[in-house]
Structure 1
Amino acid sequence: MSGRADDLSKEQEDCLEKFKERVKDVLKQSHDDHYLLRWLRARNFDLKKSETMLRNHIAWRKRENVENIHDWECPEVIQKYFTGGLFGHDVDGCPVWIDPFGQIDLKGMLKSAKKADVIRAKVQLLEKLHNKTFPEFSAERGKRIDSLVILYDLAKLGMKHLYKPGVDAYCEMLTMFEDHYPETLKYAIVINAPRFFPIAYNIVKPFLSEATAKKTIILGTNYRDTLYRYISPEELPVCYGGKHTDPDGDPTCKSQIGQGGDVPKSYHKQQMLSAEIDNAVCVTVGRGSSLQVECEVPVKNSAIRWQFSTQGFDIGFGVYRRTKDERQKANEMEEVLPSQRVNSHLVPEDGSVTCTDVGMYILRFDNTFSWTRSKKIHYLVEVLEPDTEDFTNPNASKASFKVKHQC
């Protein structure tokens, strides 16, 4: 049995009913059987693992404000120079995403945009896919459509694409996709795979689930006969042996499929200097160590805001709240913003979190992964308390804060 709504065994039906009961406190009206079965299939109908996965997803959506992501304006450089676009459908009527990934300039992209924004752009795309594209395809075809085909064209892929910050960002996107949009991929077809592709694939493979790896079809330059078993030539651009061109005759259909290309240096952000941040603190985090910046938050719903840059190399960054009065290790504290390595040596980092509880918050700069290099950081951290006077005004913005103190 496939584990889909119209193809369940008795055991799978029983598992679905138990799952509904276990997660009923987080379910919405839109969370139908099709939705719930995605999480069950992703964890092979293991109730405990499926519940953990779904609850983590619900928490992530709240933390990242995913429900309002359609209001977020994607940076221009990502819109213009990230590869890929929806184009046509496969032989079963599922949408196809064509991605000439070999033409992306990962280094230029990360010099021009935050890694978090690159990932957020993919979240925005996936939300549109689930909330608009799939329902439209389903209505047009009179059957449930809830997965897509990805066609990766790796022509022009070279060793420059093994640029570590770029690979790290891509792997984070894969992890996000696996953790929060399970069973979205029908299959991935890789064409024009270069000779060194096994090296690149070994890097990303640990971030793929076993199911995703099994859905990946890897082809070289002689790909057309195999490709046409999945996608008809009538649904492909001319550059892939298909029938479509842009109105101006362009065989790549770049009006619908982002072609990437080198990011102009005019988009590159200059490295931030400490003098450019008023009252910046400069500190060196030793090799194999970390720095904990303490922020006392005495008022609920205050915000902590930060700016920082590093010289030469990346750094790990996360936000925590102490649960005891004495100093605690990161894994002993409440996680507010999960720690991740950021390319603050390429693009200065800034951000904020809302503190729903009072207490001592810790901004942790993590260099424990580096045993050979110290990291110099320029940072500014501020606590912003809600302006209670503004909140008494029904016409005031609920995002109004005043700076209380610096950490």
Structure 2
Amino acid sequence: MSGVVGNLSPKQAVALEQFRQQVSDLLLQLPAQSDHFLLRWLRARNFNLQKSEAMLRKHMEFRKHMYVDTIVTEWKPPEVLEKYLSGAMCGHDREGSPIWYDIIGPMDPKGLFLSAAKQDFIKSKIRDCEILQKECDLQSERLGRNVESITMVFDVEGLGLKHIWKPAIDTFSEILQMFEENYPERLKRLFVIKAPKLFPAAYNLVKHFLCENTQQKIFILGANWQEVLQQYIAPEELPKIYGGTLTDPDGDPRCRTLLHYVAPVPKSYYVRDQVQLIYEQTMMVNRGSSLQLDYEILTPGCILRWQFASEGGDIGFGVFLKPHKGQWQKAAHMKEVLNSQRYNSHLVPEETSLTCHQPGVYVLRFDNTYSLLKSKRIQFTVDVLLPGQLQSPKAGGSIQSEVAHGLDKEEPRSLLVVEPTASAQMS
């Protein structure tokens, strides 16, 4: 049985009555008291009464803490989020559910994070969820039947490395987790259209925050995406640019009065010059020395991504390629993939990515050989994103450092997390 009203097994029906009794002290405080509402929490936890009750009670604490009951009427997002954060509701699918569109490509994650607090992003998405809930309630009244889920369309044309910037991914993951824990069974289906080659790597970063049931509702469409959308959305409800007939009153097929097309955030909105990053490792690069981080890439097309900051002054940084791991080499004896140069990472953190077009051992080299007086403390995080895989792989590798005195030493490291080991070698 599906676990919805009108299609309950005898065991599910008993569980529903027991659940209603167990949360009877909450009923008057809940956003709704119907069987439809209660069953969402039961389905989310496979009709496990104890887990469903814990989930619902935690949600009520969430509502109090975030002032969810008044967030639509009393909280106004910062202007920069209203203008430059993607996401808008437009039309209804063939079953009457609201449709939410996210046009990802033009969005400027770094500009947004330099202009608004993370908590404002989260509250803005809570507000969107509540607006969609109110639209579901209105549709239920209009159609005379229960409407409780939404259809989503993610237009990811133009998705690039800027969208997988770590602070943005971390916040988006937190929002996904919030959605899973507090708005269960709200997603009917999510269509991803115009997906570029980078999409699997981006999806890989957030997939593990989604439950298996949610993952099964995500459909990555191919070249026939317009035909698929038309199967679920009537032409008059689908913007013309997406294959329907809906236009703005002036005939604009992009429906700009309904859909939200964003642009880069003007610097006039910036309230800070950098975003605080949380790094996974910290190491010292001694005066007159350098530090090498080795990453063995076996599959062409992998994306090597790093973020770092330095203390004590600027630091040189470059990426090199060598054929085999376990063999220390001077920079001059390796192929330079990313030109080595000095970065003012003591003032502004550096975040960059590199697509690895050929297999081999990629060496991230921090260079302090030009500084004879100052050692530098560096904080860094390094990720390797595999192409075409929807998992969260980490990179294997090792660390080497070259210093003015001593001997070579190398210790293999496990996935992603870089364990500090030092080796000594003349530069």
Q: Same-fold call, TM > 0.5? A: yes
Q: Distance in 1 between matches of 2:151 and 2:163?
A: 23
1:380: which partner in 2?
none
Q: Distance in 2 between matches of 1:85 and 1:287?
A: 39
1:14: which partner in 2?
14
CA-to-aligned-CA distance 1:173-196 (integer Å, 9 cap, x gap): 111110101111111011001112
- 1:286–1:145: structure 2 CA closer, same or farther, 3 Å change rule? closer
2:66: which partner in 1?
64
Q: Distance in 2 between matches of 1:18 and 1:151?
A: 37
- Residue correspondences, number: 284
- 1:230-379 to structure 2, matched below 5 A, reads 230-271=232-273, 373=379
Q: Distance in 1 between matches of 2:268 and 2:248?
A: 28
Q: Distance in 1 between matches of 2:136 and 2:256?
A: 23
What is the CA-CA distance between 1:312 and the residue it aligns to? 6.0
Q: Distance in 2 between matches of 1:287 and 1:199?
A: 23
Please tell me whether the aligned partners of residues 230 and 243 of structure 2 are also in contact (alpha carbons under 8 angstroms).
Answer: no
What is the CA-CA distance between 1:13 and the residue it aligns to? 0.4
What is the CA-CA distance between 1:143 and the residue it aligns to? 1.0
Does residue 106 of structure 1 match 2:122? no
Q: Distance in 2 between matches of 1:52 and 1:312?
A: 41
Secondary structure of 1:96 counterpart? strand
Q: Distance in 2 between matches of 1:139 and 1:26?
A: 25
- 1:55-94 to structure 2, matched below 5 A, reads 55-70=57-72, 71-94=74-97
* Structure with larger Rg: 2
CA-to-aligned-CA distance 1:132-153 (integer Å, 9 cap, x gap): 2112111111111111100111
Secondary structure of 1:49 counterpart? helix
Q: Distance in 2 between matches of 1:149 and 1:74?
A: 24
Q: Which residue type is aligned with residue 145 of structure 1?
A: V
What is the CA-CA distance between 1:64 and the residue it aligns to? 1.6
Q: Which residue type is aligned with residue 146 of structure 2?
A: R
- 1:159-238 to structure 2, matched below 5 A, reads 159-238=161-240
- 1:82–1:286: structure 2 CA closer, same or farther, 3 Å change rule? closer
Does residue 28 of structure 1 match 2:34? no
Q: Distance in 2 between matches of 1:286 and 1:215?
A: 33
Please tell me whether the aligned partners of residues 83 and 257 of structure 1 are also in contact (alpha carbons under 8 angstroms).
Answer: no
1:388: which partner in 2?
none
Please tell me whether the aligned partners of residues 100 and 259 of structure 1 are also in contact (alpha carbons under 8 angstroms).
Answer: yes
CA-to-aligned-CA distance 1:89-112 (integer Å, 9 cap, x gap): 111111111111222111111111
CA-to-aligned-CA distance 1:375-401 (integer Å, 9 cap, x gap): xxxxxxxxxxxxxxxxxxxxxxxxxxx
- 1:221–1:263: structure 2 CA closer, same or farther, 3 Å change rule? farther
What is the CA-CA distance between 1:127 and the residue it aligns to? 1.4
1:118: which partner in 2?
121
What is the CA-CA distance between 1:249 and the residue it aligns to? 2.9
Counterpart pick for 2:132 among 121, 129, 134? 129
What is the CA-CA distance between 1:238 and the residue it aligns to? 1.3
Please tell me whether the aligned partners of residues 112 and 268 of structure 1 are also in contact (alpha carbons under 8 angstroms).
Answer: yes
1:279: which partner in 2?
none
Q: Distance in 2 between matches of 1:286 and 1:74?
A: 32
Q: Distance in 2 between matches of 1:286 and 1:89?
A: 44
Secondary structure of 2:145 counterpart? coil
TM-score (norm 1): 0.66
Please tell me whether the aligned partners of residues 309 and 379 of structure 2 are also in contact (alpha carbons under 8 angstroms).
Answer: no
Please tell me whether the aligned partners of residues 194 and 220 of structure 1 are also in contact (alpha carbons under 8 angstroms).
Answer: no
Please tell me whether the aligned partners of residues 87 and 257 of structure 1 are also in contact (alpha carbons under 8 angstroms).
Answer: yes
What is the CA-CA distance between 1:372 and the residue it aligns to? 6.0
- 1:90–1:269: structure 2 CA closer, same or farther, 3 Å change rule? same
Q: Which residue type is aligned with residue 10 of structure 2?
A: K
What is the CA-CA distance between 1:198 and the residue it aligns to? 1.0
What is the CA-CA distance between 1:271 and the residue it aligns to? 4.3
TM-score (norm 2): 0.63
Please tell me whether the aligned partners of residues 192 and 219 of structure 1 are also in contact (alpha carbons under 8 angstroms).
Answer: yes
1:158: which partner in 2?
160
- 1:29-44 to structure 2, matched below 5 A, reads 30-44=32-46
Please tell me whether the aligned partners of residues 114 and 273 of structure 2 are also in contact (alpha carbons under 8 angstroms).
Answer: no
Q: Distance in 2 between matches of 1:194 and 1:34?
A: 38
Q: Distance in 1 between matches of 2:167 and 2:27?
A: 37
Q: Which residue type is aligned with residue 66 of structure 1?
A: V
What is the CA-CA distance between 1:156 and the residue it aligns to? 1.1
C-alpha RMSD over aligned residues? 2.4
What is the CA-CA distance between 1:129 and the residue it aligns to? 2.0
Please tell me whether the aligned partners of residues 193 and 221 of structure 1 are also in contact (alpha carbons under 8 angstroms).
Answer: no
Q: Distance in 2 between matches of 1:156 and 1:243?
A: 24
2:151: which partner in 1?
149
Counterpart pick for 1:53 among 38, 52, 55? 55
Q: How much identity, in percent, do the aligned residues show? A: 45
Which of structure 1's runs of 4+ aligned residues deviate more than 4 A?
A: 285-288
Q: Distance in 2 between matches of 1:157 and 1:217?
A: 17
Please tell me whether the aligned partners of residues 69 and 124 of structure 1 are also in contact (alpha carbons under 8 angstroms).
Answer: yes
Does residue 97 of structure 1 match 2:100? yes
- 1:286–1:127: structure 2 CA closer, same or farther, 3 Å change rule? closer
Q: Distance in 2 between matches of 1:33 and 1:107?
A: 43
Structure 2 residue ranges without an equivalent (≥5)? 283-307, 311-347, 350-376, 381-427
Secondary structure of 1:28 counterpart? helix
CA-to-aligned-CA distance 1:240-271 (integer Å, 9 cap, x gap): 11112222332211211111221111111134
CA-to-aligned-CA distance 1:303-352 (integer Å, 9 cap, x gap): xxxxxxxx969xxxxxxxxxxxxxxxxxxxxxxxxxxxxxxx99xxxxxx
CA-to-aligned-CA distance 1:254-312 (integer Å, 9 cap, x gap): 2111112211111111349xxxxxxxxxxxx9978xxxxxxxxxxxxxxxxxxxxxx96
Secondary structure of 1:120 counterpart? helix
